[in-house]
Amino acid sequence: MATKTEAAGKVPGKIPTRNDTPNNGKAVSIGVLQGALVDMADLTNSTKQAHWNVKGSHFYGLHKMFEEFYTILNAQADEIAERCVQLGGIPDGTTETIGATKRIERYDSKLLDGLDHCAALADRYAQMAKELREGIDQTDEAGDADTSDLLTQVSRELDKMLWMIEAHLQGKN
């Protein structure tokens, strides 16, 4: 039998919603989604940094690829934030929160060479994908299959982008 709080769809400290995801699932998912949002925003900004500053013989292809990737990442961040809201959370993607809570290593703003950007981004895309896979397991275990599914979709997209970045690094010493 559901408690009064569960019946009302309330998660403590969150906005009430009629979404019937169990409250524990909501709480776990909101936390996972917030972490993913912060890291996704940071990864988007790192990819923009690479797009703006890439130099070298691979310039044109990498410039276009990085632009495509940050557009995709931005859309994924939006999906993540909107799922958080659907569960009654209040996503925080402010610059201050990103700087204070991101889990991805700081991007070197002085990079210029295209393959150096690829190496730096590959590390960060792989780290983000790992964080997402951990979130997939956490949200699934908490009973929120929808959030787990969303994170799986985002993870697949990141893996594809990582593969494309790594293809540029093949044969690099």
Q: Domain residue spans in the chain?
A: 23-170
Separation of alpha carbons 152 and 32, rounded Å: 13
Angstrom CA distances, 31 to 89, 122, 168, stand at 9, 25, 35
pLDDT for 4 equals: 40
Cβ burial 11-24 (10 Å sphere, 16+ → b, else e) = beebeebeeebbbe
pLDDT at 2 over 50: no
What average pLDDT does range 66-76 have in this prediction? 98
pLDDT for 172 equals: 67
pLDDT at 59 over 80: yes
pLDDT for 15 equals: 87
Class of domain 23-170: mainly alpha
pLDDT for 43 equals: 98
Helix axes 59-86, 114-141, angle to 10 degrees: 20
Please answer whether residues 72 and 157 qualify as being in contact, where contact means their C-beta atoms are separated by less than 8 angstroms.
yes
pLDDT for 77 equals: 98
Q: If you average pLDDT over every residue of the chain, what do you get?
A: 92
